[in-house]
Amino acid sequence: MTEQTPPSLLEVDGLTVQVATPAGAQTVVDGLSFRLARGKTLCIAGESGSGKSMTALSLMQLLPKPTARVTAGTARLAGRDILALPEAEMRRVRGRHIGMIFQEPMTSLNPVLSIGRQLGDAIIAHGAGSEKETRRRALELLDQVQIPEPERRLSQYPHELSGGMRQRVVIAMALAQNPEILIADEPTTALDVTVQAQILALIRKLQADRGISVILITHDMGVVAEMADDVLVMQHGRMVERSPVDVIFSAPREEYTRRLLAAVPRLGEMKGTLQPKRVLARPAEACPARQEDGPLVEVENLTVRFDIKGGILQRAVRRVHAVEGIYFTIRRGETLSLVGESGCGKSTTGKALLNLIPWQGNIRVAGRSTKGLRPTAMRPILRDVQMIFQDPYASLDPRMRVGDLVAEPLVIHGLAKGSELTDRVAYLFRRVGLSPEQMRRYPHEFSGGQRQRICIARALSLSPKLIVADESVAALDVSIQAQVLDLLQDIQDETGISYLFISHDMAVVEQISHRVAVMYMGRFVEMGTRAQIFENPQHPYTRKLMQAVPVADPSRPRRAFVEKAEDLPSPIHPLGYVPPRQEARDIGGGHLVWETLRA
Amino acid sequence: MSQTAVETEAPVSTPSVLARLLRRPLALTGLVIIAVVVVAAVFARWLAPYDPYEQFFEGLTLEGAPLPPNAQFWFGTDLVGRDLLSRLIYGAQTSLIIGVVANGIAVIIGSLVGITAGYFRGWVDTVLMRLTDLMMAFPALLLAIVLAATFRPSLWIVALVIAMVNWVQIARVTYTETRSIAERDFVVAERAMGAGAGRILFRHILPHLLSTIIVWATLGIATTVLLEATLSFLGIGVQPPTPSWGNIIFENQTYFTSAPWLVFIPGAAILALALAFNLVGDALRDILDPTQQGRH
């Protein structure tokens, strides 16, 4: 690389975007200026609401009109201000000069058109060629994004592809016109970590091969470290800091950048410790000794299968093997984490503990079997087992006041009423760091982190012995995520509650767990203490998961590109499928590794 | 009406639902129209300028044609020289019973069937929804004729028949919506807390269906008022000369070109009533939905 600054391809000056709200115009991007150099990657990083997506949309003139509009600023691409171009000319810029990838690959593809058709449309969007030529180009593009069997994909529909494959198709469509700039808005946020690693490597490879410039928008500092040449940190619509990537991570200038980086959980930072992070932060005597009077939850041979019905008679035609015969126990005051990628059965396991879905096997909570209990008979057990969901907004009834929502379990179980109920709810609000004055508000008046606190308060209201936390911090910004994790751990220290912590995020799991079970295809592949799993991973899948986590350290060598995409296998099998037998091997100190037995 | 399903407890800090309704000009307009119709129906005997059954000699032209609106007969006269205004005022009784009571019962049955089938699924779903499909496929008019012929024709039988045939669409619509709401996290969360089906259905699912139900309920008013007219026309139901808004239109529709007011005025009355309920319904929906507050 030469020392002189390469000529910039895109020059954005004073970009300002306003959104009309009932309270008047609100500025969501405020005087943003940056340069994008040819062949380089600029990462725009920031938390939700920082205006990063609005920036991307305004560059494409795709802002949701008339609510949002660019009120000031210029964006010069090859001497032309693309913000001022009329729609007809802007269409020629989109696709040909700037391609865009969105977060959710399923919604950015049309579900009723085949891949070949959609890709073909992207290719001929600016002037048709012959059908044969279009098809040849489509195959070439699919090959470039490393999709296996491109011929077959052309006639497939989006729902037949996995999330990673869909995102590859979306990238192929964005590249169809050979754009000079690729804008990727959270391109891997909806994907599993192993798939994310592949997609990021793919974007890097395409960039190197074609010399295109990339604007990557992300909230994940790990992704930033992995991808960026330059980083632009945004907060509340304003630029906080713009620096080369190594500077951002080694010597951040601004306080906000430092806080953002400090909040990122780093895989491996807990090395050599036995307790969760928060416990370590306080003096040793503060941790109450756990009385060991038998496990709180015992799960034996838990199996969950769903039939997929089809045909005119709605008979079962195929079967989803969501969970296949898992065994585990949860001790009192302990956090057991289930970690794995989407579709591995971790959420299903959590739901089975609360009898929310039909299952086979045996589950005992505090000695009581929950097998086949009807909802009324299950009620006393639900006083001991509660759940916190992933999306705090979706799990709160939007039409109820939050005070009533937190009181709901107490009312259902008939545990309190009148002023006693109000006092109890007020106590719970204070316990999770909210003010009791907020009880009369509705969920939409709260931020994501506050809503998750409300969910936690609701789960705590019955003083349960176990909380199943299903991806409970996944939807939160990192700084909020850290606060919620701290809260969960403080509650554990105080009350000796147990958690079944379900997550896909290895770094979060490392912070909060006593023990960890790694799930793959409905089964455990490895289980042990936090130290055993993170410091001595034995199963190849555990290792693969850990390697896939983006590390917030730009000095680490970036991962090599993997030829041809791999996919997670599907848990859907024909009827009568018998899964291969597996056996656990104890490799010392209760560290279990499962191995498939050959027939 | 469907609005009864809503929790009506008024928050302490905010004014009551009625007070907030009155503050909205559109809702107030709707309330006024409804009040006018109700008052007309209840006090018809004192309000109507003439006897609705009396065929006035001066109510027809020399050629025997009905009179257009004039100083004596404000809304004109009908084919046999009766005063249209008086007939409309008396007809309001019938139309209110049909449009509000019969339609309201249909809405309640439909919503109950829809949410029950949508939430419980399984055999409950199969039985209820196949029944709904059956009712939908069955010609409503034929069913009405059979029912009305079995019992002695009367206004209440007509109301019953209308309620019996009109719940199916609402059942279909609420069923579909319930199915999607039942899969949302807050309902699963409710189940995880140990809430019973009744609590989930009526406190958590029904409020979300309110806007759909209100729209269908107001659409139903116009439909049912006209269905009553059809039934009356076929000789089942309200017997002439008893007036109803629907049968005034039906009696006079063939003379639409020569005496348009005979169809236009009762038609406008039906429209105004349906619109009034719609305005109030819309406003109620916004007031009862906390996520909509502060948007006006």
Tens digit of each residue's pLDDT (9 = 90 or more) over A159-189: 888 778 888 899 899 888 889 999 998 888 8
Phi/psi at A238 (5° precision): -115, 155
pLDDT given for residue A6 in this prediction? 57
Instruction: For A409, name the nearest residue in chain B, comparing CA atoms only.
Output: B193
At CB < 8 A and 24+ separation, what contacts does A303-309 make? A303/A359, A303/A360, A303/A361, A304/A345, A304/A348, A304/A349, A304/A352, A304/A357, A304/A358, A304/A359, A304/A360, A304/A522, A305/A360, A308/A572
pLDDT at A94 over 70: yes
- Of A224, A252, A247, A249, nearest to A43 by C-alpha is A224
* A121-146 mean pLDDT: 84
Q: What is the pLDDT of residues B10-61, one digit of tens each?
A: 344 456 778 888 888 888 999 999 999 999 888 888 888 888 888 887 878 7
pLDDT confidence tier of residue B1, bands split at 50, 70 and 90 = very low
Say if A458 is an interface residue toward chain B (CB within 8 Å): yes
Q: Model's pTM, two decimal places?
A: 0.80
Residues of B in contact with A458 (CB under 8 A): 189, 193
Quick check: helix, strand or coil at residue A42?
strand
Give dist(CA A21, CA A442) in Å, integer. Answer: 19
Residues of A in contact with B11 (CB under 8 A): 440
Closest chain B C-alpha to A189 CA, distance in angstroms: 21
Looking up tokens 């019905």 gives A309
Instruction: For A350, name the nearest residue in chain B, comparing CA atoms only.
Output: B192
Say yes or no for a CB contact (<8 Å) between A397 and B204: yes
Give dist(CA A440, CA A369) in Å, integer. Answer: 39
pLDDT at A418 over 90: no
pLDDT given for residue B246 in this prediction? 81
* Distance between first and last Cα of chain A: 56
pLDDT given for residue A158 in this prediction? 86
Query: In this structure, is the dihedral angle defined by the CA atoms of residues A495, A500, A501 and A506, taken in order, positive or negative?
Result: positive
Q: Which of residues 4-63 of A touch B (CB under 8 A)?
A: 22
Q: Identify whether the C-beta of residue A524 lies closer than 8 Å to the C-beta of residue A362.
A: no
pLDDT confidence tier of residue A111, bands split at 50, 70 and 90 = confident
Say yes or no for a CB contact (<8 Å) between A440 and B11: yes
DSSP category for residue A579: P
* Domain limits, chain B: 16-50+73-293
pLDDT given for residue A561 in this prediction? 66
Q: What is the pLDDT of residues B157-167, one digit of tens each?
A: 888 888 888 89
Say yes or no for a CB contact (<8 Å) between B194 and A382: yes
Give dist(CA A149, CA B80) in Å, integer. Answer: 82
pLDDT given for residue A343 in this prediction? 78
pLDDT given for residue A405 in this prediction? 93
Closest chain B C-alpha to A356 CA, distance in angstroms: 7
A98-101 and A181-185: which strand pairing?
A: parallel
Closest chain B C-alpha to A182 CA, distance in angstroms: 35
Q: What is the ipTM of this complex?
A: 0.77
pLDDT given for residue B5 in this prediction? 39
* A338-357 mean pLDDT: 89
| Number of Cβ within a 10 Å radius of residue B249 | 22
Give dist(CA B54, CA B5) in Å, integer. Answer: 43
Give dist(CA A20, CA B191) in Å, integer. Answer: 39
pLDDT given for residue A307 in this prediction? 84
pLDDT confidence tier of residue A521, bands split at 50, 70 and 90 = confident
The sheet with strand A24-37 has its strands ordered as A24-37, A8-21, A68-77, A80-81
Give dist(CA B83, CA B248) in Å, integer. Answer: 11
Written as one letter, the residue type at A231 is V
pLDDT confidence tier of residue A282, bands split at 50, 70 and 90 = low
Provide the token pair at A145.
């994004």
Instruction: For B191, name the nearest residue in chain A, comparing CA atoms only.
Output: A356
Say if B198 is an interface residue toward chain A (CB within 8 Å): no
In Å, how far are A115, A498, A519 from A331, measured between CA atoms?
Answer: 49, 7, 19
Phi/psi at A338 (5° precision): -105, 120
* A441-445 mean pLDDT: 88
pLDDT given for residue A562 in this prediction? 65
Say if B130 is an interface residue toward chain A (CB within 8 Å): no
pLDDT given for residue B11 in this prediction? 43
Say yes or no for a CB contact (<8 Å) between A376 and B13: no
| Number of Cβ within a 10 Å radius of residue A81 | 13
Greater confidence, A126 or A486?
A: A486
Give dist(CA B251, CA B91) in Å, integer. Answer: 13
Say yes or no for a CB contact (<8 Å) between A395 and B295: no
Residues of B in contact with A396 (CB under 8 A): 186, 189
DSSP category for residue B83: B
Say if B6 is an interface residue toward chain A (CB within 8 Å): no
Least confident piece of the model among A3-12, A51-60, A536-545? A3-12
pLDDT given for residue A599 in this prediction? 54
pLDDT given for residue A409 in this prediction? 93
Q: Identify whether the C-beta of residue A328 lies closer than 8 Å to the C-beta of residue A398.
A: no
Say if B51 is an interface residue toward chain A (CB within 8 Å): no
Give dist(CA B97, CA A307) in Å, integer. Answer: 49
CATH H-level, domain B16-50+73-293: superfamily: MetI-like (1.10.3720.10)
Give dist(CA B176, CA B115) in Å, integer. Answer: 9
Say yes or no for a CB contact (<8 Å) between B291 and A398: yes
pLDDT given for residue A24 in this prediction? 80
